[in-house]
Amino acid sequence: MHFSLVTLFPEFFDSPLSAGLMAKARESGTVDFSFRNPRDATTDRHRTVDDRPYGGGPGMVMLPEPLAVTLRALREDAPRARILMMAPRGRRFTQQLARELAREEHVAILCGRYEGFDARVEELFDIEPVCVGDFVLNGGETAALNVIEAVARLVPGFMGKEESGEDESFSDGLLEYPHYTRPEVFEGLPVPDVLRSGDHGRIAAWRREQSLAATLRLRPELLPEAPLTETDMAFLRHKAAETVERPGRNLHCALVHYPVLNKEKKSVAVSLTNLDIHDIGRCSCTYGLGGYYIVTPIEDQRRLLDGILRHWTEGPGLAANPDRGEALGLVRGADTVQDAVDDITRRTGQRPLVMATSARGAGDTTVGQVRSILAERPVLLLFGTGHGLSPHLVAACDGTLRPVRWMDGYNHLSVRTAAAIIMDRILGDCY
Ligand SMILES: C[S@@+](CC[C@H](N)C(=O)[O-])C[C@H]1O[C@@H](n2cnc3c(N)ncnc32)[C@H](O)[C@@H]1O
């Protein structure tokens, strides 16, 4: 496989491409490299490759001309080369992309410097921007080295045993299991017995479980896309249940019936609906929430709620449908939002962060922010009935979640649907 590197600093690659397995792979001809320096395509006395940005601002931009000359020469020599451009705004580099690139005969990589490339280069040539992570490096050379190493080691013949590239982190969507070598006991820590048992079936099963447990603990966002068997799922379910710090338990929600807006935008109290109590209760239970509050100060509505809850949690409904009893066991009445806040504070020992939800406005908090807060403290999500939470209640909250489907013209969801979507976005299957 051939890599062409378009760089102002070819010498940058001297040492990394001359060490270890890479050196051997070059010797055996498994991979080889060529370098093109855009500075060689300049025509002025100073061999200029950059200039100030139009529109002002800091830094310099790589001139399009030397790059265009370099890329035209590259295209002529290697018409089928796949050309990547290292750029923070590019497609994220992953093991999957590495596998895809390892099937190419020729990969060319453009390494940027300064503020990057003049944007017209990308319009003129068939180039794929690629990013190695959400951070900014000084130049594309270190990013290119990431790509080269990850791709080259998947090229047949690079590693002694070809399978070793198939049994690693990300190769099957999971993190890898832990490795151990001699001595058997190191500073008091023994190697797990199973690894010395010689029983290959047990070792494989143990490794799979370690891999699943590590992914659940460290990178749960990988699990929804990972291919999982029923055995894997049963193991993860069991593991998740014993992980006490699952953040779903820190999430609480309240369905507010007062103060909410009516059609005329006046603050009013609205009546309870059986469907909202049941459906949001079932959703809260499914996502493992810490509690679901029905907020209404109206006495007869509270009595109605108590009657419904008694029926399902201790009355005839419980025997008829115990699952429903479990879900409604999570529901509590509260006269005001403050009462719900006080109840959570009493039960968890921490005052919850109160987060409003709304179909309008820009919001000031993202789902990701709520997810990180949950790791530290409880959050109470407020859902409004009627035409939404009253503005003075929203203003008293600690924040407002960005609306669901805010980019579309129509986002009139029922409160049950909005609650389900928001819970899923915050907690998904694996948080
Ligand atoms: C200082 S950076 C330019 C950053 C650019 N102004 C921006 O904010 O996106 C210079 C060069 O480093 C490379 N680079 C920096 N961070 C990168 C990343 N995370 N992934 C891929 N390339 C990166 C690119 O080639 C880029 O043109």
Q: What pLDDT does residue 431 have?
A: 73
Task: Indicate the residue type of 288.
Answer: G
For residue 147, count other CB atoms closer than 10 A to its CB. 21
136 is in an annotated binding site: yes
Band (pLDDT 50/70/90 cuts) for residue 165 is: low
186 is in an annotated binding site: no
Q: 131 CB under 6 A from ligand 1? A: yes
At residue 300's C-alpha, the angle toward residues 355 and 327, to 5°, is: 50
Q: Which residue of 60, 136, 145 sits with most ligand 1 atoms within 8 Å of its CB, as the best mutation to test the pocket?
A: 136
Structural domains in the chain, CATH included, are 2-165 (3.40.1280.10), 177-182+196-243 (1.10.1270.20), 247-427 (3.40.1280.10)
291 is in an annotated binding site: no
From the CA of 89, give the closest atom in ligand 1.
9
Q: What pLDDT does residue 243 have?
A: 76
Q: 119 CB under 6 A from ligand 1? A: no
The sign of the torsion formed by the CA atoms of 206, 207, 210, 216 equals negative
Q: What is the DSSP letter of 365?
A: B
270 is in an annotated binding site: no
Band (pLDDT 50/70/90 cuts) for residue 163 is: low
Q: Which residue of 6, 114, 137 sits with most ligand 1 atoms within 8 Å of its CB, as the best mutation to test the pocket?
A: 137
Answer whether residue 236 shows pLDDT above 90.
Answer: yes
pLDDT (average), residues 272-295: 97
Q: 113 CB under 6 A from ligand 1? A: yes
Band (pLDDT 50/70/90 cuts) for residue 161 is: low
Task: Please tell me the distance between residue 116's alpha carbon and the centre of ligand 1 in angstroms.
Answer: 6
Answer whether residue 244 shows pLDDT above 70.
Answer: no
Which residue's alpha carbon is nearest to atom 4 within ligand 1?
115
Beta bridge partners of 380: 252, 354
Task: Indicate the residue type of 201.
Answer: G
Task: Indicate the residue type of 374.
Answer: L
Task: Please tell me the distance between residue 135's alpha carbon and the centre of ligand 1 in angstroms.
Answer: 8
pLDDT, tens only, 68-91: 999 999 999 999 999 999 999 999
Q: Are 215 and 167 in contact (CB under 8 A)?
A: no
Answer whether residue 239 shows pLDDT above 60.
Answer: yes
Q: What pLDDT does residue 170 have?
A: 83
Answer whether residue 164 shows pLDDT above 80.
Answer: no
112 is in an annotated binding site: yes
Task: Please tell me the distance between residue 126's alpha carbon and the centre of ligand 1 in angstroms.
Answer: 19
What percent of the chain is helix, strand and coil (3-state, nearest 5)? 45, 15, 40
From the CA of 111, give the closest atom in ligand 1.
25
Q: What pLDDT does residue 409 have?
A: 85
pLDDT (average), residues 253-272: 97
From the CA of 136, give the closest atom in ligand 1.
16
For residue 327, count other CB atoms closer than 10 A to its CB. 23
194 is in an annotated binding site: no
For residue 230, count other CB atoms closer than 10 A to its CB. 7
Q: What pLDDT does residue 47 have?
A: 98
C-alpha 373/C-alpha 427 separation (Å) is: 12
Q: What is the DSSP letter of 93?
A: P
pLDDT (average), residues 313-327: 96
Answer whether residue 162 shows pLDDT above 60.
Answer: no
Helix (H/G/I), strand (E/B), else coil: 239 = helix
Q: 307 CB under 6 A from ligand 1? A: no
The tally of CA atoms less than 13 A away on the side-chain side of residue 206 is: 14
Mean pLDDT (the chain) is 96
Q: What pLDDT does residue 38 have?
A: 98
Q: Are 375 and 353 in contact (CB under 8 A)?
A: no
From the CA of 62, give the closest atom in ligand 1.
27
H/E segment holding residue 312: helix 299-313
Task: Please tell me the distance between residue 85's alpha carbon and the centre of ligand 1 in angstroms.
Answer: 10
Burial class (CB in 10 A: 0-12, 13-18, 19+), 183: exposed
H/E segment holding residue 62: strand 61-62
